[in-house]
Amino acid sequence: MKNNIDHLRITPNASMHYALQVIDKGAVQIALVVDEVGKLLGTLTDGDIRRGLLKGLSLESSVESIYYRTPTVAMVTDTNEAILQIALRKKLHQIPIINEEGKVVALREIDDLVQPSQKSNKVVLMAGGLGKRLGDLTRNTPKPMLNVGNKPILQTIIESFSKSGYTSIVLSVNYLSHKIENYFGDGSNFGVTIEYVHETERMGTAGALSLMRNMLSEPFFVMNADLLTNVDFEKLHQFHIMQNPVATMAVREYDFQVPYGVVNIEDDRVTSIIEKPVHKFFVSAGIYMLSPAVLEYVPDGHFFDMPSLFDKLIQEGQYASSFPIHEYWLDIGRMSDFERANDEFNGVF
């Protein structure tokens, strides 16, 4: 029970950026939206903010339009057993406790009581790429084994998942796979268990999943093994559960500025000129959470990448969701990315 919740309180006019800081510093995955006298108006989670970003809001927008106005609450007079039953029925991780005046006085956390810290969901890391764009660096070393911050990129990824409780790792390997296997072994030296799947030929970011059908029985992560990010994987997992899609793709915003004035024309008439407009897109971040049902859409023994898988799911009428990330993210594909990663590593990890 958290009785000191002052640091979790925000007002409806708080910015989404400030709310994220409250949620992250509070370490309980929630902010409590209150009025001027402390009466509970609603709750706000990381998922609410990400959905707001997908709707076109910015981090400077207020939380007024996105916070949840009818949260499940418990009274100060409720027993622990009663609160636990409410949480189990509603699949909640925490419940605000209010008094008779409707003022929030505490927050009851449920996670420690109903779920273990370690999760059984598997983490599939695609570590078989050639890394040709990095030239001599990958001539004798697979790209995931390049050192950034004095340790392999792949080690940083595995440690990040382990810190979130995901310790069952599957490595899909190909190029110079023996160097990866010799370094990590069965994973016991890194606090995880590692299984290896060998691609005898390049199968793409989704094709290799056809080799793992008997290994994946619950929602699982897939991630490219050449990424550096401090994304909270547990939040991605929770988002996937709450949205209940067959597949979730982590996406990040990409801005592109046209270096010229754009002229809008109807017939031969100039209707407007927009000087150097900025276009915003969401692009794939190379991180996914998939339900086992997607495996039936993955062909056997063929090259098949993630965009093709998502296209197929969409064509078949399956629900695929997006999880916008605002945290640090870097794809180490070129020499400049590798140099940048080493410059920034200590300030992020």
Instruction: Convert the pLDDT of each residue in 6-41 to its tens digit.
Output: 899 999 999 999 999 999 888 788 999 999 999 999
For the segment 203-224, the average pLDDT, to the nearest whole number, is 94
**Is the per-residue pLDDT at 116 higher than 50?**
no
Q: What is the pLDDT of residue 137?
A: 85
- Where b means 16+ CB within 10 Å and e means fewer, 148-173 reads bbeebbbbbbbebbbebbbbbbbbbb
Q: To which residue do tokens 């899909």 refer?
A: 172
Q: What is the pLDDT of residue 289?
A: 98
Q: DSSP state, 334?
A: S
**Calpha distance 323→243 (Å, rounded):** 10
- The whole model's pTM is what? 0.73
In the three-class reduction of DSSP (H, G, I as helix; E, B as strand; rest coil), residue 265 is classed as: strand
Single-letter amino acid code for the residue at 12: P
**Is the per-residue pLDDT at 298 higher than 90?**
yes
**Is the per-residue pLDDT at 115 higher than 60?**
no
For the segment 194-213, the average pLDDT, to the nearest whole number, is 92
Enumerate the CATH 3.10.580.10 domain ranges in the chain, comma separated.
6-114
For the segment 138-158, the average pLDDT, to the nearest whole number, is 93
Q: To which residue do tokens 């810190």 refer?
A: 163
Tokens in use for 338?
Answer: 């590798």
- Identify whether the C-beta of residue 137 lies closer than 8 Å to the C-beta of residue 90: no
Single-letter amino acid code for the residue at 135: G
For the segment 313-338, the average pLDDT, to the nearest whole number, is 94
**Calpha distance 249→187 (Å, rounded):** 27
From the list 235, 226, 217, 207, the residue with the least C-alpha distance to 168 is: 217
- Give the CA angle between residues 319, 324, 325 to the nearest 5°: 145
Q: What is the pLDDT of residue 112?
A: 54
Enumerate the CATH 3.90.550.10 domain ranges in the chain, comma separated.
119-348
**Is the per-residue pLDDT at 132 higher than 90?**
no
Q: What is the pLDDT of residue 3?
A: 63
CA atoms within 13 A on the CB side of 52: 24
Instruction: Convert the pLDDT of each residue in 153-194 to its tens digit.
Output: 999 999 999 998 999 999 999 988 999 999 999 999 999 999
Kindly state the percentage of the chain with pLDDT values over 70.
97
Which of the following CATH numbers is that of domain 6-114: 2.40.50.180, 3.10.580.10, 3.40.50.300, 3.30.300.30? 3.10.580.10
**Is the per-residue pLDDT at 114 higher than 60?**
no
Decide yes or no: CATH 3.40.50.720 for domain 119-348: no
Instruction: Convert the pLDDT of each residue in 61-90 to its tens digit.
Output: 999 999 999 999 998 888 777 887 888 788
**Is the per-residue pLDDT at 230 higher than 80?**
yes
pLDDT band, residue 128 (cuts 50/70/90): confident
**Calpha distance 120→193 (Å, rounded):** 11
